Structure 1
Amino acid sequence: MARRIVKIIAGPTASGKTSLAIEMAKKEKAGAVIINADSMQIYDAVPILSAQPDAQERAAVTHKLYGLLSPSEICDAARWCQLALTEINQAFEQGVQPILVGGTGFYMKALTNGLSPVPDIPEEDHLKAMADSHADLPAFYKELQACDPLIAAKLKPTDKQRICRAVEVFRVTGQPLSYWQDQPNILPDPSLEFEMIIMRPQRDWLYERINQRVHIMIEQGALEEVKVLMAQIENGNVPEHAGVTKAHGFDVFQQHLQGKVSLEEAIVKTQIDSRQYGKRQDTWFRNQIKSGGLIKKIDYIDLPAR
Structure 2
Amino acid sequence: MSVATSGMERSGGGSEGRLKNAVLIAGPTASGKSALALEIAERRGGAIVNTDSMQGYSILNVLTARPTAEEMARAPHHLYGHIHPGTAYSTGAWLRDVMRLMAEDAFKDRIPVFVGGTGLYFRALVEGISEMPEIPKSVRDRWRYHLNEDGPERLHRILAREDPEAAQLLRPSDGQRIARALEVLEASGRSILKWQAEKGKPLIDRYSAEFLVIEPERAALVARIDSRFDRMLEAGALDEVRALLALKLDPALPAMKAIGVRELAAADAGELSFPEAIARAKIATRQYAKRQSTWFRNQLGPEWQRINSS
TM-score range, shorter chain: 0.7 to 0.9
Amino acid at match of 2:110: V
Q: In structure 2, list runs of 5 or more residues that go unmatched.
A: 3-8, 10-19
Q: Does structure 2 conserve the Cα–Cα contact (< 8 Å) formed by 1:42 and 1:68? A: yes
Residues 126 and 243 of structure 1: is their aligned pair in 2 closer, same or farther, counting only changes over 3 Å? farther
What's the counterpart of residue 21 of structure 1?
37
Q: Does structure 2 conserve the Cα–Cα contact (< 8 Å) formed by 1:127 and 1:241? A: no
| Matched-pair identity in % | 36
Q: Which moved more, 1:196-205 or 1:147-156?
A: 147-156
What's the counterpart of residue 294 of structure 1?
none
Q: TM-score, normalised by structure 2?
A: 0.81
1:10 aligns with 2:26: yes
Amino acid at match of 1:264: P
- Of 181, 201, 205, 1:166 maps to 181
For residue 300 of structure 1, give the secondary structure of its aligned residue in structure 2.
Answer: strand
The whole-number CA distance in structure 2 between the counterparts of 1:188 and 1:123 is 28
For residue 31 of structure 2, give the secondary structure of its aligned residue in structure 1.
Answer: coil
- Of 243, 262, 279, 1:251 maps to 262
For residue 187 of structure 1, give the secondary structure of its aligned residue in structure 2.
Answer: coil
Aligned length: 291
Q: Does structure 1 conserve the Cα–Cα contact (< 8 Å) formed by 2:152 and 2:174? A: no
Residues 83 and 239 of structure 1: is their aligned pair in 2 closer, same or farther, counting only changes over 3 Å? same
Residues 271 and 158 of structure 1: is their aligned pair in 2 closer, same or farther, counting only changes over 3 Å? farther
- Of 76, 80, 92, 2:90 maps to 76
- Of 223, 229, 246, 1:208 maps to 223
Q: Does structure 1 conserve the Cα–Cα contact (< 8 Å) formed by 2:92 and 2:132? A: no
Alignment of 1:1-306 (within 5 A): 4-28=20-44, 31-88=45-102, 90-93=105-108, 95-135=109-149, 136-141=151-156, 143=158, 159-181=174-196, 183-187=197-201, 189=203, 194-233=209-248, 238=249, 241-290=252-301, 297-304=303-310
Amino acid at match of 1:253: L
The whole-number CA distance in structure 2 between the counterparts of 1:12 and 1:21 is 14
1:54-106: per-residue Cα shift (whole Å, max 9, x none)?
1221222221111122223342222211222333462432x211101111111
The whole-number CA distance in structure 1 between the counterparts of 2:301 and 2:195 is 23
Amino acid at match of 1:201: P
1:142-184: per-residue Cα shift (whole Å, max 9, x none)?
5556666666666666555444433433444454434433x23
Q: Does structure 1 conserve the Cα–Cα contact (< 8 Å) formed by 2:92 and 2:129? A: yes
Q: Does structure 1 conserve the Cα–Cα contact (< 8 Å) formed by 2:21 and 2:205? A: no
The two structures, once aligned, show a CA RMSD in angstroms of 2.8
The whole-number CA distance in structure 1 between the counterparts of 2:168 and 2:277 is 34
Amino acid at match of 1:11: G
For residue 303 of structure 1, give the secondary structure of its aligned residue in structure 2.
Answer: coil
Q: TM-score, normalised by structure 1?
A: 0.82
The whole-number CA distance in structure 1 between the counterparts of 2:307 and 2:52 is 20
